[in-house]
Amino acid sequence: MVMRNTGTWLAFAASCLLYAISALNTGSLSLTEIYTSALFADELPRVRSIVFDPVGDLLTLVADQNSVVALWNNGTSRATIIDNTVVPGGQNLTHGLAFSNNYIYATSTTNVWRWPYTPGSRSKITTQGQPVVYNIVNASQVNGHSTRTILIRESDQALFVQVGSGTNVDPNPDRARVRVVDLSNASALASGGYDFQQAHVFADGLRNEVGLALDADGNVFGVENGADQLNRSDLGGDIHNDNPAEEFNLLGNSSVGMNGYRNMGYPYCWTEYNLTEYTTKALGKGGQWAWPLAQGTQTDAWCRNTSNNEQPIVAMQAHSAPLDVIFYNGTGCGGQGSLPCSMTGHAIVSFHGSWNRSPYTGFKVVHVPFSRPVTPTGQVLDMWGEQNASLCSSSTGSSCVRPVGLAIRSDGVLFVSSDSTGEVYSLAYSANASSATNAGTSSGARTRGVYGWFLAFGILLCGWCMSEFSADFSAG
């Protein structure tokens, strides 16, 4: 009996093992061979924005714990430095995080707060947050997009504050915009901070400009989440799968200081990404059109007039959900794992991933090259993320990496947070990396979500095979 069944069981067990290995390889996070990833930290539930302080600690806003956590020693050491006890009024920290002049800034739905902090102290803050901006939304506006992004320009202490739309497409643009306040005005801060509704509107017509960034010259950029469920009967009806484009916008040149103003068209206008499969009227990527609700003067022609509506500098895949953008200034380039020097002046964008597109898209980090300041090439190049975003459905999406925050360490290594998995990864440019950047546990592949189920099934199957073989062998 042993001789009759041994070969069969061994062959079956080998097949099971190959199945498990195949499932493991399916879960790779590498979209290209250029970048490899390492797990820097985990168990950070719904981690959102990340930023390095001057001593190199990575500050992370952990939304589900209503806290700011500092990470160091290659992610192996951590300390909670802000928790809910020092967030006034029992408010929840939602998304925005910044560090400037020995203060940590963070956002709730209605406020921007700050706390004094000495970089490297890693000690818990016990003082209540100081209000910097209040009344971001009033009592009638609390619904809708809840993220509040903040950006500080050190050269003039300008604090830019973003708030998204109240609905998918608001009837007016009064809420969805970026305003700016002056952090150098000590008297305004001492008297309770700035009323957001009275602050200068720096950029308007922005549906949900979650990502804000500065280039090396101090120009302000943003990445916008476009509207859902777009339908225009004269352009083919339901055209939402590839429209409107997610926008990469120039919000203001540094020369305007805090006094700039641009209108990006929302809610009256939208940007084409791909209409060619729906209509012969397609203008091509970046073309401007009127939203169906637009009335009277807000026509297609009106939207194509740049005095009414500034066009994006790059049109990106619809429903990718860009949540952060950062420019690389070349610091540390050429070192081990650092970004290449050729990327100096280029932008990097995190795509959180879609929920209403078939197949799903996003779940990755991309590179947006610039040929010179404020002049992108138009390319959007994959860097890192889920190899098969189509598997990241609403049921398995929580197990897929969903990039949010971006930060670049002083040695030129890129870091990415994933709120769905509660993780932070480091990305190494492989041409400069002899290892996974010494910044965590190497993870070119991982077994999460649907991939983990496949692997688990393969391992269990292998175990069953071997147990059956062992029982058969004993019985023989």
Q: What is the C-alpha to C-alpha distance for residues 183 and 100, in angstroms, rounded to an integer?
A: 10
Q: Which residues contact 313 (CB under 8 A, 6 or more apart)?
A: 248, 249, 250, 374, 375, 376
Average pLDDT, the chain: 87
Per-residue pLDDT, averaged over 291-299, amounts to: 82
- For the ranges 10-14, 17-21, 237-241, 347-351, which has the lowest average pLDDT? 17-21
- What does residue 360 show for φ and ψ, rounded to 5 degrees? -60, 155
Helix H or strand E encompassing 317: none
- Give the count of beta carbons closer than 10 Å to the beta carbon of residue 233: 9
Exposed e or buried b for every residue in 76-99, given b needs 16+ CB within 10 A?
Answer: eebeebbbeebbeeebebbbbbbb
- CB distance 178 to 221 below 8 Å: no
Q: What percent of the chain has pLDDT over 70?
A: 82
Helix, strand or coil, per DSSP, at residue 429: strand
Both tokens of 161, joined, read 């504050």
Q: Which residues contact 427 (CB under 8 A, 6 or more apart)?
A: 35, 36, 37, 365, 383, 384, 413, 414, 415, 416, 437
pLDDT of 274 > 60? The answer is yes
pLDDT of 263 > 90? The answer is yes
Kindly report, residue by residue over 375-406, the tens digit of the pLDDT.
999 999 999 999 988 888 655 556 899 999 99
Can you give the pTM of this predicted structure?
A: 0.87
pLDDT of 83 > 50? The answer is yes
Kindly report, residue by residue over 314-331, the tens digit of the pLDDT.
999 999 999 999 999 999
- For the ranges 24-38, 39-53, 253-267, which has the lowest average pLDDT? 24-38
pLDDT band at 444 (very low <50, low <70, confident <90, very high): very low
Q: What is the C-alpha to C-alpha distance for residues 169 and 293, in angstroms, rounded to an integer?
A: 9
Rg (CA), the chain: 25
pLDDT of 349 > 80? The answer is yes
CA atoms within 13 A on the CB side of 326: 23
Domain 30-446 has CATH 2.120.10.30: yes
Query: Would you list the domain boundaries of the chain?
Result: 1-27+447-476, 30-446
Exposed e or buried b for every residue in 249-284, given b needs 16+ CB within 10 A?
Answer: bbbbebeeebebebbbbbbbbbbbbbbeebeeeeee
pLDDT of 471 > 50? The answer is no
Q: Which residues contact 190 (CB under 8 A, 6 or more apart)?
A: none
pLDDT of 447 > 80? The answer is no
CA atoms within 13 A on the CB side of 269: 28
- For the ranges 180-189, 196-205, 353-362, which has the lowest average pLDDT? 353-362
